[in-house]
């Protein structure tokens, strides 16, 4: 029977299925990864890359329901020595039934229960999966609903098939907070959850992509700090150890964690215990460089300290978020048609469900619908306009006028570094051409100029591959205007920046 263990190993490196890779996985022959390849990908992540954990993702995509059975059958000798659920971990991200109209949640439950019975039959550690990640969490009721419905399913399973490794069916819930507002307010959800279930520990997941898409680059990072502070505060109040997870992509807009920048970017995530290692990180850099970066992260995150700061600073960070959002959102609403047009040409890397109608949900700001964060970021970079700049320059000017630069610099220590990285892929010629026709481009042009003035730097290509990227994005814009095919150019640019989006 499964019993929660407060002394279990907490993973540091979580491999995920986020489809942001531009190139081909080191273990494959095509950048597109089919669901039937999940077993091989899990093995390569846990064994070849030595990640501690793998996110088995059922949200918004097709999943291999027999993945764990295939994994154990194919690599039994390996997992007899290194056991899943004890030494390495597979954590399932279940669909959010309040956002994604889906019929997969019950199937996910049964796959977890079946995997537990299967590993038991092999005399391996069981259950292999005992934590559920809930995307887009907005309330404790959602967490409790998933937890309790799984318990009912486990009880039914036990009644029908007699013995069950889950016994009472308890599973740990990991909420993902995916908006600036939800991240800053995560303490309220945790308080409510702890009234009903006081677990021996709590892992809490903060997204970085969707907050940036919905509120802008700076608010996403500042809200991360706010969320970390709140979860540690509530955990300390209730005596529950907190282990934060941060969901970071390679490009700064989506988190800025990649093998090249890791030593400069990781300090921004002080207090985080687990970092997602997404597809671009794993597959768009040389394998040895990836392994070295992972080893560095493991060492740096082995001992983390809680994030603490005053209520006054917390309020000021909220004020800063409002400032940056007020510039970002109106510009993106006007920019949206061009982003959506470009996003149609961004290739898929996974077998995703369509995020429309019966089978999905969409992202959006105001009255406009946007692509998901990876394609949004890819679309902007493909035009030579890194989205990190949208609203940032005008936000910096307003922060300066209100005397908030010190608090900004204290809590966003890597701002200059991240803008420098994004700025290498800025195509000023494209932006100038677009600014002659569109208000949104004029506003982003102002953002770039203000960032340069306030931060004392100049953005643009530095190295040969940056200049090549600029040239390719010029070709993309010209070919789009002429109605010519630019699919190969779009991928070529992504390979140069080592991430699709």
- Yes or no: say if 359 and 101 are a contact pair by the CB < 8 Å rule: yes
Whole-angstrom Cα distance, residue 431 to residue 446? Answer: 11
Say if strands 53-57 and 274-277 run parallel, antiparallel, or are unpaired: unpaired
Would you place residue 102 in the very low, low, confident or very high pLDDT band (cuts 50, 70, 90)? low
- CATH superfamily of this structure's domain 13-300: Phosphoenolpyruvate-binding domains (3.20.20.60)
Would you state the pLDDT for residue 318?
A: 98
Would you state the pLDDT for residue 6?
A: 76
- Yes or no: say if 331 and 435 are a contact pair by the CB < 8 Å rule: no
The predicted-structure confidence for 392-413, as pLDDT tens digits, reads as follows 999 999 999 999 999 999 999 9
- Yes or no: say if 80 and 111 are a contact pair by the CB < 8 Å rule: no
Would you state the pLDDT for residue 166?
A: 63
- Residues β-bridged to residue 345: none
For 81-110, what is the mean pLDDT? Answer: 90
The predicted-structure confidence for 240-285, as pLDDT tens digits, reads as follows 999 999 999 999 999 999 999 999 999 999 999 999 999 999 999 9
Would you state the pLDDT for residue 103?
A: 73
Would you state the structure tokens that stand for residue 394, as one six-digit string?
A: 């005008």
For 214-225, what is the mean pLDDT? Answer: 97
Residue 498's region, left for phi above 0, alpha for psi from -120 to 50, else beta, is left
The predicted-structure confidence for 8-34, as pLDDT tens digits, reads as follows 999 999 999 999 999 999 999 999 998
Whole-angstrom Cα distance, residue 88 to residue 91? Answer: 10
Whole-angstrom Cα distance, residue 114 to residue 93? Answer: 17
Question: Residues for the chain: how many in total?
Answer: 501
- Yes or no: say if 318 and 61 are a contact pair by the CB < 8 Å rule: no
For 127-139, what is the mean pLDDT? Answer: 96
pTM for the predicted model, two decimal places:
0.95
Would you state the pLDDT for residue 99?
A: 82
Mean residue pLDDT across the chain: 93
- The dihedral sign for the CA sequence 443, 444, 446, 451: positive
Would you state the pLDDT for residue 269?
A: 97
Would you state the pLDDT for residue 363?
A: 60
Whole-angstrom Cα distance, residue 254 to residue 247? Answer: 8
Q: Could you tell me what percent of the chain has a pLDDT over 90? A: 84
98, 131, 232, 280, 420 from 187: Cα distances, Å = 21, 20, 9, 32, 33
- Yes or no: say if 357 and 414 are a contact pair by the CB < 8 Å rule: no
pLDDT at residue 307 above 70?
yes
The three-state (H, E, C) secondary structure of 325-390, written as one string: HHHHHHHHHHHHHHHHHHHCCCCCCCCECCCCHHHCCCEEECCEEECCHHHHHHHHHHCCCCHHHC
The predicted-structure confidence for 145-157, as pLDDT tens digits, reads as follows 999 999 998 887 7
- Yes or no: say if 210 and 169 are a contact pair by the CB < 8 Å rule: no
Would you state the pLDDT for residue 451?
A: 98
126, 191, 313, 344 from 371: Cα distances, Å = 39, 33, 33, 9
- Yes or no: say if 93 and 133 are a contact pair by the CB < 8 Å rule: yes
Would you place residue 131 in the very low, low, confident or very high pLDDT band (cuts 50, 70, 90)? very high
CATH 3.20.20.60 positions along the chain are 13-300
Would you state the pLDDT for residue 360?
A: 33
Would you place residue 215 in the very low, low, confident or very high pLDDT band (cuts 50, 70, 90)? very high
Would you place residue 328 in the very low, low, confident or very high pLDDT band (cuts 50, 70, 90)? very high
Residue 127: burial class (beta carbons within 10 Å; 0-12, 13-18, 19+): buried
The three-state (H, E, C) secondary structure of 198-247, written as one string: CCCCEEEEEECHHHHHHHCHHHHHHHHHHHHHHHHHHHHHHCCCEEEEEE
For 460-465, what is the mean pLDDT? Answer: 94
For 237-242, what is the mean pLDDT? Answer: 98
pLDDT at residue 167 above 50?
yes
pLDDT at residue 361 above 50?
no
Would you state the pLDDT for residue 460?
A: 96
Would you state the pLDDT for residue 35?
A: 82
Would you place residue 165 in the very low, low, confident or very high pLDDT band (cuts 50, 70, 90)? low
């Amino acid at each position: 029977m499964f019993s929660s263990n407060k002394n279990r190993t907490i993973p540091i490196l979580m491999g995920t299925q986020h489809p942001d890779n531009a190139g081909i996985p080191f273990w494959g022959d095509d950048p597109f990864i089919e669901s039937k390849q999940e077993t091989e990908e899990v093995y390569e992540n846990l064994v070849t890359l030595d990640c501690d954990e793998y996110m088995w993702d059922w949200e918004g995509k097709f999943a291999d329901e027999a993945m764990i059975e295939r994994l154990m059958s194919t690599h039994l000798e390996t997992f007899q020595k290194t056991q899943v659920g004890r030494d390495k971990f597979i954590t399932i991200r279940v669909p959010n039934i309040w956002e994604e109209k889906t019929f997969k949640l019950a199937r996910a439950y049964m796959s977890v229960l079946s995997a537990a019975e299967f590993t038991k039959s092999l005399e391996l550690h069981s259950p292999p999966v005992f934590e559920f990640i809930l995307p887009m969490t907005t309330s404790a009721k959602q967490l409790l609903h998933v937890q309790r419905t799984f318990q009912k399913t486990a009880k039914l399973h036990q009644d029908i098939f007699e013995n069950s490794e889950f016994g009472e069916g308890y599973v740990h819930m990991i909420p993902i907070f995916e908006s600036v507002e939800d991240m800053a307010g995560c303490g309220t959800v945790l308080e409510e959850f702890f009234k009903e279930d006081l677990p021996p520990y709590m892992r809490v997941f903060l997204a970085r992509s969707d907050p940036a898409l919905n509120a802008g680059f700076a608010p996403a990072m500042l809200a991360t700090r706010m969320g970390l502070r709140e979860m540690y505060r509530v955990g300390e109040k209730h005596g529950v150890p907190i282990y934060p997870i941060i969901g970071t992509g390679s490009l700064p807009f989506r988190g800025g964690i990649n093998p090249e920048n890791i030593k400069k970017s990781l300090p921004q995530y002080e207090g985080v215990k687990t970092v997602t290692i997404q597809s671009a990180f794993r597959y768009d850099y040389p394998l040895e460089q990836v392994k070295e970066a992972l080893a560095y992260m493991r060492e740096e995150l082995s001992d983390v300290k809680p994030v603490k700061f005053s209520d006054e600073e917390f309020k000021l960070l909220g004020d800063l978020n409002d400032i940056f959002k007020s510039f970002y959102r109106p510009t993106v609403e006007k920019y949206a048609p061009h982003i959506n047009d470009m996003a149609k040409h961004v290739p898929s890397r996974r077998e995703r469900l369509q995020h429309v109608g019966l089978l999905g949900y969409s992202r959006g700001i105001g009255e406009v619908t946007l692509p998901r964060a990876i394609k949004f970021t890819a679309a902007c970079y493909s035009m030579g306009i890194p989205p990190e700049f949208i609203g940032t320059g005008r936000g910096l000017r307003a922060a300066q006028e209100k005397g908030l630069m010190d608090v900004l610099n204290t809590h966003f220590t890597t701002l200059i570094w991240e803008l420098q990285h994004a700025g290498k892929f800025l195509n000023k010629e494209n932006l100038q051409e677009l600014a002659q026709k569109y208000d949104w481009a004029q506003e982003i042009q102002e953002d770039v100029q203000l960032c340069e003035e306030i931060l004392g730097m100049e953005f643009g290509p530095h190295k040969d591959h940056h200049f090549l990227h600029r040239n390719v994005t010029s070709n993309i814009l010209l070919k789009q205007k002429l109605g010519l095919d630019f699919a190969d150019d779009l991928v070529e640019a992504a390979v140069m920046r080592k991430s699709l989006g």
